[in-house]
Structure 1
Amino acid sequence: MTTLNLGILAHVDAGKTSLTERLLHSAGVIDELGSVDDGNTRTDTMALERQRGITIRSAVVSFVVHGVTVNLIDTPGHPDFIAEVERVLSVLDGAVLVVSAVEGVQAQTRVLMRTLQRLRIPTLIFINKVDRAGADPERVLRQIAEKLTPHVVATGWVDASGTPAARCTPFGSDDSAFTDRLVDLLSAHDDALLAAYVEDERAVSAGRLRRALAAQTGRARVHPVFAGSAITGAGVAALTAGIAELLPVAAGDEDAPLSGTVFKVERGPAGEKIAYARIFTGVVRVRDRIRIGRDAEAKVTAISVFSDGDAVPSQTAGAGRIAKLWGLSDVRIGDVLGVAPDRPAGRHHFSPPTLETVVVPCRAADRAALHTALAQLAEQDPLINLRQDDLRQEISVSLYGEVQKEVIQATLADEHGVQVTFRETTTVCVERPVGVGAAVEWIGKEPNPFLGTVGLRVEPAPAGSGFEFRLGIELGSMPLAFLKAIEETVRETLRQGLYGWQVIDCRLTLTHGGYWARQSHSHGVFDKSMSSTAGDFRNLTPLVLMAALARAGTRVHEPMHRFRLELPADLFGTVLPVLARLDAVPRTSTVQGTSYLVEGDVPAGRVHALEQRLPALTRGEGVLESEFDHYQPVRGTAPSRPRWDHNPLNRKDYLLAVERRVTARPESR
């Protein structure tokens, strides 16, 4: 049986979890429909999801349609949980993007569609809630063509929209208007189809058009649009048929070496770690020892695969399947199993978190329990970037927004019994090198107390290029363990630049390296005081790196969001001064009938304040979209963040802290 790994994506409250329930019910997997409002849906399993009526963690369910096993992944719709969606994208064969027939295309809808197009994931669009008062499928279809992609075609029409009696009827092969629209859409990518149609319309059969539609949908060139209601079931049968007919099934060679990606990690009832993995090629079996990432190995102790709505025990999981794996105790989200798949794992498709807060236990006695609980949450969501400050006994987490803070607080209380509060949310800045700087410390020469030579040069790299570590010495001139210690320490040290922020977009070159070979006394006993160790390089590297960075200089940059604000035209003059006070910079303003569309940039730390003020400023008619766009140099005094290490910028204090663990060394060899 073939497999299709399908993602359901939408802006929050568009109805994708209700659609998941309806698809399961239609396939006979569940006897009764669950309700988001009643908190009894199949995929919202967390207590908090049931209480708030939103999806927080991705969930997998399965059903069979037309001989295809569909592994359906329900994803969060709220932008604060976009990291969950990001992890799912790397394992999908296709997607259904849900749009509300009432609210239409919303901020998150645009972000999701742009990402699906960039990754070329075959996507169907479903206009939901056609039975709701105010539903206007025709208006929403126009919005989709204008705001998402022009390469769409409606597959049917809706009668009595906006009423409980709304029904959806697919266009038939004898509908000439539909055929013309389909030919216009498909011929843009198929010259042979256009030529055949121009020569003789009757020569292009309905079957040929459907095959062409399936082929181009599978290549993510066109996007068929369905309409219906997840609540009443109207139009869902047509969507189900479209999923089976138009989206490509999973491909993969079971005889090839194992290749998979971990996209979710959770804890079982006994605290055991469970990894959700998409298997691209090969087969994983119980008791197999498999490679995890680049270095680790682990033995698979149990496997479950998804069938008819449930995860069922299995001895194997083959190419194309999604499996739950036990026994991989050190596995992390984004890890590759076996060999790397063709598609990149762990790649960031969305913006990074731009906010940070300190988590404070209500009871001092819960500090250790808090750290354990947050470490487990970081397993499920690595982008919270758990940061331990041992000097101040504080733990910080990164955030996408205030709702995520509320969820962390409730999860800690409900699942771990730890009550917490938060410090004020702050913006996470970054540092970029301004110029080129170099430093070196030589073995056996003052003021270097460590048995190693390290020289580093730091220089700026293009924006968005990240971090690059280069060897400026011969590879065989030092043991690999020492080179690895230097590179790992460089990466760790760059988490705190001259102002305490992570240093990005820089190139580091190891310009000098030296060590003392292993020395022994006459009786053959290893003498650590005469021999270089990896610890020497881990302790020395921060001093050299920060000296080079100080000579290069860095500049602090703050995250900026690109915003798009629609508001009544008569309030344009009232809103502009408020935008200015929030440091927002309008770039363009366009009249659209009785509305104004304002686009520009706003500091990430000001977005929440703008969201809070908008309803009162615009009589509730303002619509704001924003997403991270770039980093911009901070004007005025550069903000700093307290360091949580031994501060290699202060050599005396650093050596006092580090050398307590270093045995006294001879001054020369």
Structure 2
Amino acid sequence: MQTLNLGILAHVDAGKTSLTERLLFAAGVIDEIGSVDDGSTQTDSMALERQRGITIKSAVVSFAIDGVTVNLIDTPGHPDFIAEVERVLSVLDGAVLVISAVEGVQAQTRVLMRTLRRLRIPTLIFVNKIDRGGAQDERVLRDISAKLTPAIMPMGSVRDLGARAAGFTTYGAADDAFTTALTDLLAGHDDAIVATYVNDETAVPYDRLRDELAAQTKRALAHPVFFGSAITGAGVDALITGITELLPAAEGDVDGPVSATVFKVERGPAGEKIAYVRVFSGTVRTRDRLRLRGDNEGKVTAVHVFDRGSAVTRASVTAGEIGKLWGLADVRVGDAIGTSRTAAECHRFAPPTLETAVVPRRPEEKGALHVALTQLAEQDPLINLRQDDLRQELFLSLYGEVQKEVIQETLATDFGIDVDFRETTTICVERPIGTGMAVEVLGKEPNPFLATVGLRIEPAAAGSGVGVKLEVKVGSIPLFIYKAVEEFQKAIENTVRETLRQGLRGWQVADCTVTITQSGYTSPESTARDFRLLTPLVLMSALQQAGTVVCEPVHRFHLDVPADTVGAILPVLARLRAVPRVPEIRGPACVLEGEIPAARVHELQRQLYALTRGEGVLEFAFDHYEPVRGAPPSRPRSDLNPINRKEYLLHVMRRV
């Protein structure tokens, strides 16, 4: 039986969890459809999810239909939990993007579709809630074409739109307008269809069009659109047919080398780690020893594979399947198991732009809080747990206030720790503005370490991150480095990346290239530790020579307001340093789009209700970083501060 790993994605409240329930019901996995409002759905199993009526953690369920085993992954829709979506994207064969027929294309919908298209993930679109008052079909189709992609094909028509009896009728070979539109869409990527139409002057056979639609959908060139209602079931049968016929099944060699990705980590009743993995190649069996990141290994003690709604015990999980593995004590989200996939297959949304300090209400629980947050960071590495040893404070990176509230409730419910948060602040980054070079030579003052390290740092393209290159003669690198998987190079590279988490003003350094220009050692006294301790001093010296500029995150915003309120809103946007484009008047409404510093979004939200009589709707999403105007902000350092040589060496020598 073939396997399809399918993601359900949407803006919050578009109805994707309800659609998951309907699909499970249609496949016979559940006898009764659960309700998000009642907290009785299959995939929202956390108490917080049931309480809040939103998906927080991705969940996997399975069903079989028409000879295909579908592993369906329900993902969060709230933008505060985009990290969960990011991890799921790396394991998908296809996706269904759910859009509300009432609200239409929303901010998160655009973020998701842009990412799905960039990663070339085959995607069907399901326009939900056709039974709700205010539902529209033609307007939503226009919005999808204008805001998401023009490569769409409506697969049927809606009847009784906005009524409980609303339904969806699929098009067929007899619908001339449909076959003509389908021919036009597919001809853009199939010269044979163009040739058949031009040379024969006859319609392309319908079976040929359907086959080509499936082929182009599987290549993420075309996106069929279905309409329906997850609540009533209208249009869901047509969507199921589309899932099995138009999306590609998983591929992979079950006898090849093991290659898998960990996309979720949770803890069992006894506190043991459970890793959710997608296997791309090979077979993972109970008692296998698996290579994780670096030199870490783990022995698989149990395997579960998803089957007909639940995870069942199996002896192995094979290529194409999703499974749960026990026994990997050191596993983390994002780990590659066995053979790593290429860098091009690594996916990434925008990073968190907010940070807050977490403070236990009972001071004696500081140690327990650190343990609890460490476990949460295993499940979501993007919260970027950071400890300030000098001030004994813990910091988390966040996407928004809802995520903060969920963390607070999780700590109280799962760990029995009550916490408060300091004021949320914006996370900036630093970028080098020039080139800097530094070197410290073994045996020459003021270098106290048994190593020579020379580094050059220079700016790189925006969004490129940190790159490390080697520009050293092979003869100058000790032989044991190669025998230990280039331990020397790894020690310097890892230390460079760790050190650049705090730049000259305490912010993470981004978009730069660091080149190792010199190295030296004395045998047998030199160790990798010497390189690790010396590298921060050399790197910070080079960075000071290069100089940095502090950059703040900037969001795109989309603002729908009554047209008569624009005059009051524009001065507020100017005070908040927003840069709006020309307003677009749509009858009694007006649409304003533009850019605004992330630090000013909350203030705009606070004032919007009064400015627009409660009718304004604001959508926003991270777009880019740009230099801060005025005095650049600093963040207190939480490392050993290699910028202050005396202080750094005092701490280092004391630890050594």
The alignment's TM-score, normalised by the length of structure 2, stands at 0.96
For 1:477 and 1:81, the matched residues in 2 are separated by 47
Is 1:44 paired with 2:32?
no
For 2:98 and 2:382, the matched residues in 1 are separated by 26
* Distance change >3 Å, CA 24–CA 356, structure 1 → 2: same
One-letter code aligned to 2:108? Q
Q: 1:21-50 CA distances to partner (integer Å, 9 max, x unpaired)?
A: 000001000011110000010000111000
Q: Is the 8 A contact 2:429 2:509 kept in 1?
A: yes
Q: 1:199-244 CA distances to partner (integer Å, 9 max, x unpaired)?
A: 5676633322221211111111111111111111111111111111
For 2:430 and 2:7, the matched residues in 1 are separated by 36
Is 1:631 paired with 2:630?
no
Is 1:586 paired with 2:580?
yes
What residue is the counterpart of 2:491 in the other structure?
Answer: 485
CA drift of 1:587 comes to 3.7
Q: Is the 8 A contact 2:196 2:202 kept in 1?
A: no
Q: Is the 8 A contact 1:334 1:345 kept in 2?
A: no
1:573 to 554, 562, 567: 567
What residue is the counterpart of 1:276 in the other structure?
Answer: 276
What residue is the counterpart of 2:508 in the other structure?
Answer: 502
What residue is the counterpart of 1:65 in the other structure?
Answer: 65
- Please identify, of 120-129 and 35-44, the stretch whose mean Cα deviation from structure 2 is larger: 120-129
What residue is the counterpart of 1:229 in the other structure?
Answer: 229
1:561 to 552, 555, 558: 555
CA drift of 1:498 comes to 0.8
For 2:612 and 2:67, the matched residues in 1 are separated by 52
Secondary structure in 1 aligned to 2:583? strand
What residue is the counterpart of 2:484 in the other structure?
Answer: none
What residue is the counterpart of 1:211 in the other structure?
Answer: 211
Secondary structure in 2 aligned to 1:117? helix
- Please identify, of 296-305 and 364-373, the stretch whose mean Cα deviation from structure 2 is larger: 296-305
For 2:463 and 2:139, the matched residues in 1 are separated by 38
Q: Is the 8 A contact 1:284 1:318 kept in 2?
A: yes
CA drift of 1:194 comes to 3.4
For 1:16 and 1:288, the matched residues in 2 are separated by 37
What residue is the counterpart of 1:335 in the other structure?
Answer: 335
CA drift of 1:388 comes to 1.0
For 2:202 and 2:432, the matched residues in 1 are separated by 66
CA drift of 1:516 comes to 2.5
One-letter code aligned to 1:553? G
* Count of aligned residue pairs for this structure pair: 649
- Please identify, of 317-326 and 183-192, the stretch whose mean Cα deviation from structure 2 is larger: 183-192
CA drift of 1:163 comes to 1.4
* Distance change >3 Å, CA 194–CA 447, structure 1 → 2: closer
Q: 1:360-417 CA distances to partner (integer Å, 9 max, x unpaired)?
A: 1111111111111111111111111110111111110101111111111111111111
For 2:25 and 2:468, the matched residues in 1 are separated by 53
- Please identify, of 141-150 and 89-98, the stretch whose mean Cα deviation from structure 2 is larger: 141-150
For 2:529 and 2:257, the matched residues in 1 are separated by 38
Q: Which has the larger radius of gyration?
A: 1
Q: Is the 8 A contact 2:89 2:347 kept in 1?
A: no
- Please identify, of 126-135 and 504-513, the stretch whose mean Cα deviation from structure 2 is larger: 504-513
Is 1:249 paired with 2:255?
no
Secondary structure in 2 aligned to 1:620? coil
For 1:221 and 1:483, the matched residues in 2 are separated by 42
Secondary structure in 2 aligned to 1:376? helix
CA drift of 1:112 comes to 0.8
CA drift of 1:650 comes to 1.7
For 1:368 and 1:147, the matched residues in 2 are separated by 48
One-letter code aligned to 1:77? G
- Please identify, of 557-566 and 30-39, the stretch whose mean Cα deviation from structure 2 is larger: 557-566
For 2:324 and 2:411, the matched residues in 1 are separated by 25
What residue is the counterpart of 1:616 in the other structure?
Answer: 610
Is 1:607 paired with 2:590?
no
For 1:565 and 1:114, the matched residues in 2 are separated by 20
Q: Is the 8 A contact 1:335 1:346 kept in 2?
A: no
What residue is the counterpart of 1:452 in the other structure?
Answer: 451
Q: 1:318-350 CA distances to partner (integer Å, 9 max, x unpaired)?
A: 1111111111111111111111236845431x1
What residue is the counterpart of 2:147 in the other structure?
Answer: 147
Secondary structure in 2 aligned to 1:656? helix
What residue is the counterpart of 1:533 in the other structure?
Answer: 527
Secondary structure in 2 aligned to 1:215? helix
For 1:280 and 1:450, the matched residues in 2 are separated by 45
One-letter code aligned to 1:515? Y
- Please identify, of 247-256 and 38-47, the stretch whose mean Cα deviation from structure 2 is larger: 247-256
What residue is the counterpart of 2:420 in the other structure?
Answer: 421
Q: Is the 8 A contact 1:102 1:129 kept in 2?
A: yes
Q: 1:146-204 CA distances to partner (integer Å, 9 max, x unpaired)?
A: 22112212212222121111122212321222222222222222232233345567663
For 1:335 and 1:507, the matched residues in 2 are separated by 24
Within a 5 Å distance, the mapping from 1:327-476 to structure 2 comes to 327-341=327-341, 344-348=344-348, 350-476=349-475
Is 1:512 paired with 2:518?
yes
One-letter code aligned to 2:610? A
One-letter code aligned to 1:565? L
Q: Is the 8 A contact 1:90 1:343 kept in 2?
A: no
Within a 5 Å distance, the mapping from 1:101-250 to structure 2 comes to 101-198=101-198, 204-250=204-250
* Distance change >3 Å, CA 198–CA 303, structure 1 → 2: same
Percent identity between the two aligned chains: 69
For 1:642 and 1:313, the matched residues in 2 are separated by 49
For 2:203 and 2:626, the matched residues in 1 are separated by 58
For 2:201 and 2:175, the matched residues in 1 are separated by 13
One-letter code aligned to 2:509? V
One-letter code aligned to 1:632? E
Q: 1:429-477 CA distances to partner (integer Å, 9 max, x unpaired)?
A: 1111122222222322322222222222222222222212223322342
For 2:70 and 2:155, the matched residues in 1 are separated by 22
For 1:462 and 1:497, the matched residues in 2 are separated by 18
* Distance change >3 Å, CA 372–CA 175, structure 1 → 2: same
Q: Is the 8 A contact 1:439 1:457 kept in 2?
A: yes
What residue is the counterpart of 2:264 in the other structure?
Answer: 264
Secondary structure in 1 aligned to 2:462? coil
Is 1:542 paired with 2:536?
yes
Q: Is the 8 A contact 2:287 2:300 kept in 1?
A: yes
Secondary structure in 2 aligned to 1:612? helix
CA drift of 1:294 comes to 4.4
Q: Is the 8 A contact 1:254 1:281 kept in 2?
A: yes
- Please identify, of 332-341 and 66-75, the stretch whose mean Cα deviation from structure 2 is larger: 332-341
Secondary structure in 1 aligned to 2:497? helix
Q: Is the 8 A contact 1:457 1:511 kept in 2?
A: yes
Q: Is the 8 A contact 2:469 2:515 kept in 1?
A: yes
CA drift of 1:610 comes to 1.9
What residue is the counterpart of 1:317 in the other structure?
Answer: 317
For 1:10 and 1:355, the matched residues in 2 are separated by 23
Q: 1:225-274 CA distances to partner (integer Å, 9 max, x unpaired)?
A: 11111111111111111111111111112122111111111111111111
1:652 to 639, 646, 649: 646
CA drift of 1:620 comes to 3.4
For 1:352 and 1:378, the matched residues in 2 are separated by 15
What residue is the counterpart of 1:33 in the other structure?
Answer: 33
What residue is the counterpart of 1:82 in the other structure?
Answer: 82
For 2:527 and 2:181, the matched residues in 1 are separated by 71
Q: Is the 8 A contact 1:107 1:624 kept in 2?
A: no
One-letter code aligned to 1:502? Q
For 2:185 and 2:441, the matched residues in 1 are separated by 68
For 2:189 and 2:346, the matched residues in 1 are separated by 32
* Distance change >3 Å, CA 261–CA 168, structure 1 → 2: same
